[in-house]
Structure 1
Amino acid sequence: MFILFGSPRSGTTLLKESLNLHPEIIIPFQTTFISAVAHIMGSMSDWSKSRALVAQFITSTDDFASTLAPHISAEEVYSALNSAAPTVAGVLNAIYSKIAENNGKSVAGDKTPDDLLSIRKLEEVGLLGSDIKFLHIVRDVRGIISSLHNVSWSPPGIEEYFPRLWNYTNLHLHRAMASKPNYLLVRYEDLVANPREALTRCTELLGLPFDERMLDHASRAPVLRHDQSHQNLSLPFQPERANSWEKTLSPEIVRHCRDTSGEAMRVFGYL
């Protein structure tokens, strides 16, 4: 099992849907349960009591029908947790192993940008010390802000506080995982500039060979391509978007990004 981490508008969906074109990989639609399960299990040490609650929560989420149910039934979730190790990693391995089995795939993963905001809790419950594999995609925060300005769901004034969140969450995950063999950092800019190399590195982490179909943009995300947030998903990789922020952001916003997230920008090679 693997988790694809990244801030919103970092290319998480682009990377996810490219990986989903691999015949041995399945990543369901974006879920909402991992962070909540971490909080539940972090507050209840008795697995005999929390197991049923965790299973009930997962199968009762508003998006269960659209995200997990096409790949695993509620009954199978309960059954998987009955034999799962009593950890968050154990829960995820049990569920996603069954999802992979049901779809005839070798590997299943999860992609939910919101989970990066709970990185400290995920670390506290031992997820970062588990055998789960982590793909971590980062994008220049200036590019993210420019992209956030183009989606309807982005709140006004997000450029004021988002750079600090981007700095803390991405640095925290990277500092905790950088030296471990089950972690891979992928920069969005490198993905769109050389997708073959970036995707090869991803499949190597997952123990799979590169597959040419991952580069087929015409087959990418047919269900999502009409979503206002994902209008470019069906297009070829666009390296010119990496620095498009230079033409769209004001000097004040650019300076604010540098002042509030300079540490992570340096670590990830943006300064």
Structure 2
Amino acid sequence: MPEHLNSSIEKTLPATNPEQLPIFFILSRPRTGSTLLRTLFDAHPHVQIPPECQFIVNLHPKYGRITHWTPLLFGELVNDLQEQFLFNTWNIEPVRLLTFLQQFQGQQSYGTICKAIYLQYQSLYYKSGITLIGDKNPGYALYTKLLSEIFPEAKFIHLTRDYRDNHVSLSRVEFELPIVALTVFKWKYFYKTITKASKQHPDSFFTLRYEDLAENPEGMLNKVCNFLGISFNPEMLTFYQRKKAVEALYDAKKLNKIHASLMHPVNTSNIGYWKKNLSTKQVKIADYTIGEYAAKAGYERQYAGFSLFIWLAAQPGINLARAIYATTWLVNRFPYKQRQYILSELPFVLGSFWKKHFQRSAA
């Protein structure tokens, strides 16, 4: 195991049956501050929260209904995990994981086995006993119903960020096509989806604005920790002090471009930079696309009036977003390997097509 990884976690396992450990999920759009929030919790000595990897949903069609686990099934599961996108970032040796899982042979739920896998994540931070498991996967925002079925006790943190800042951040790291109406429509779609789920289970959801976290990190973390049933730990705010360990884990170019905030204390430098990076036309398109949901989420539009020109300019991005979600709904009915391949390759195909034909004229 690399020296920068925490080895103390082995001492804490299996002190508690994974089934008894509560779990929470951070739900958000990409580039909303979810990696920062995950890292803040990863620095908590009693919380186990790996980087993102959507294996719970991806592997559910194959393993979700299994209630009796055998060595053969565990072997298949470990092999399938190695093929999951980003699972390698958890730094779990396959043989070590397989050996650990053998103690859970027999009657166990899929959720319990998933928690056991989470417990094997090798954190950069010291752990002195795990009492809570966390997850950060932006894509899980669309699967809250399934996650609640797998983990009936699950809690959810709905993290939001100004939709205009979110667009600028997404464009800078090239995570999605840089079309204002497209990214803002997705923002609204996620917000509506998560809000609908929260109304069905209000005691299981906590809404947190990135701006509030950045302006008052200790105060907001105290509230979130209270919601999750754990005590705030001051070590959460010293996450950036593991700078060398973080640098050893991430590619330098990726770290500087995508996760630079992990190298500094929580601050407000990324709030409101849409004001210097978006044109008036782009702001009008964003404000039109978001509509009334800006105020519902606690944000203020600059332009609330109707303009036929802006309406026409927004339609291509809005229609593309609708087409993407319709395609996703269809692809979700495919076997998991085909589904994973399509959903992982489609953004790159669309991105290449966009750059080749439309990037210069994008709004």
TM range (shorter): 0.7 to 0.9
In structure 2, distance between residues paired with 1:97 and 1:2? 14
What is the root-mean-square deviation in Å for CA atoms of aligned residues?
Answer: 3.2
In structure 1, distance between residues paired with 2:297 and 2:223? 17
The answer to whether the aligner puts 1:265 opposite 2:294 as a matched pair is yes
Question: Is contact 2:163–2:184 with CA below 8 Å preserved after alignment?
Answer: yes
Q: Once the 2 structures are TM-superposed, how far is the Cα of residue 145 of structure 1 from its aligned partner?
A: 0.7
Aligned counterparts, 1:240-251, within 5 A:
240-251=269-280
In structure 2, distance between residues paired with 1:127 and 1:59? 25
> Greater shift after overlay, 187-196 or 124-133?
124-133
2:231 alignment partner AA = P
Q: Report the 3-state secondary structure (helix = DSSP H, G, I; strand = E; otherwise coil) of the residue aligned with 1:135.
A: strand
Q: Once the 2 structures are TM-superposed, how far is the Cα of residue 205 of structure 1 from its aligned partner?
A: 2.1
In structure 1, distance between residues paired with 2:99 and 2:281? 53
In structure 1, distance between residues paired with 2:26 and 2:40? 12
In structure 1, distance between residues paired with 2:167 and 2:183? 8
Question: Is contact 1:143–1:242 with CA below 8 Å preserved after alignment?
Answer: yes
The answer to whether the aligner puts 1:37 opposite 2:66 as a matched pair is no
Unaligned 5+ residue runs, structure 1?
none
1:258 alignment partner AA = D
Q: Give the aligned partner of residue 188 of structure 1.
A: 210
Give the direction of change, closer, same or farther, for the CA distance of 1:129–1:258 in structure 2 (3 Å limit).
farther
Question: Is contact 1:59–1:74 with CA below 8 Å preserved after alignment?
Answer: no
> Greater shift after overlay, 104-113 or 219-228?
219-228
Question: Is contact 2:92–2:121 with CA below 8 Å preserved after alignment?
Answer: no
The answer to whether the aligner puts 1:173 opposite 2:194 as a matched pair is yes
Aligned counterparts, 1:9-158, within 5 A:
9-40=31-62, 56-67=79-90, 69=92, 73-77=97-101, 80=104, 82-86=106-110, 89-96=111-118, 104-116=129-141, 119-120=142-143, 122-124=144-146, 126-127=148-149, 130-151=152-173, 153-158=174-179
> Greater shift after overlay, 59-68 or 195-204?
59-68
Task: Provide Cα deviations, 1:109-149, integer angstroms capped at 9, x if missing partner.
Answer: 11122322xx15x4257448821121221111111011122
In structure 1, distance between residues paired with 2:162 and 2:198? 20
In structure 2, distance between residues paired with 1:251 and 1:127? 45
In structure 2, distance between residues paired with 1:79 and 1:263? 52
Task: Provide Cα deviations, 1:168-208, integer angstroms capped at 9, x if missing partner.
Answer: 12221122125522221111000001101111112112221
Q: Once the 2 structures are TM-superposed, how far is the Cα of residue 259 of structure 1 from its aligned partner?
A: 1.9
Q: Report the 3-state secondary structure (helix = DSSP H, G, I; strand = E; otherwise coil) of the residue aligned with 2:208.
A: strand
In structure 1, distance between residues paired with 2:87 and 2:165? 32
Question: Is contact 1:123–1:129 with CA below 8 Å preserved after alignment?
Answer: no
The answer to whether the aligner puts 1:164 opposite 2:189 as a matched pair is no
Question: Is contact 1:40–1:54 with CA below 8 Å preserved after alignment?
Answer: no
In structure 2, distance between residues paired with 1:171 and 1:145? 18
Question: Is contact 1:16–1:111 with CA below 8 Å preserved after alignment?
Answer: yes
Identity over the aligned pairs, expressed in percent? 25
In structure 2, distance between residues paired with 1:263 and 1:38? 36
Aligned counterparts, 1:213-232, within 5 A:
213-216=235-238, 218-219=240-241, 222-223=245-246, 226=252, 227=255, 228-232=257-261
Name which structure has the greater RCO, CA cutoff 8 Å, separation 6+: 1
2:232 alignment partner AA = F
Give the direction of change, closer, same or farther, for the CA distance of 1:70–1:22 in structure 2 (3 Å limit).
farther
Q: Report the 3-state secondary structure (helix = DSSP H, G, I; strand = E; otherwise coil) of the residue aligned with 1:130.
A: coil
Count of residue pairs the alignment pairs up: 262
Task: Provide Cα deviations, 1:204-224, integer angstroms capped at 9, x if missing partner.
Answer: 122211111212253256416
In structure 1, distance between residues paired with 2:106 and 2:116? 9
Q: Report the 3-state secondary structure (helix = DSSP H, G, I; strand = E; otherwise coil) of the residue aligned with 2:36.
A: helix
Question: Is contact 2:28–2:190 with CA below 8 Å preserved after alignment?
Answer: no
Q: Report the 3-state secondary structure (helix = DSSP H, G, I; strand = E; otherwise coil) of the residue aligned with 2:114.
A: helix
TM superposition score normalised by structure 2: 0.62
TM superposition score normalised by structure 1: 0.81
Q: Report the 3-state secondary structure (helix = DSSP H, G, I; strand = E; otherwise coil) of the residue aligned with 2:262.
A: coil
> Greater shift after overlay, 56-65 or 156-165?
56-65
Question: Is contact 2:215–2:268 with CA below 8 Å preserved after alignment?
Answer: yes
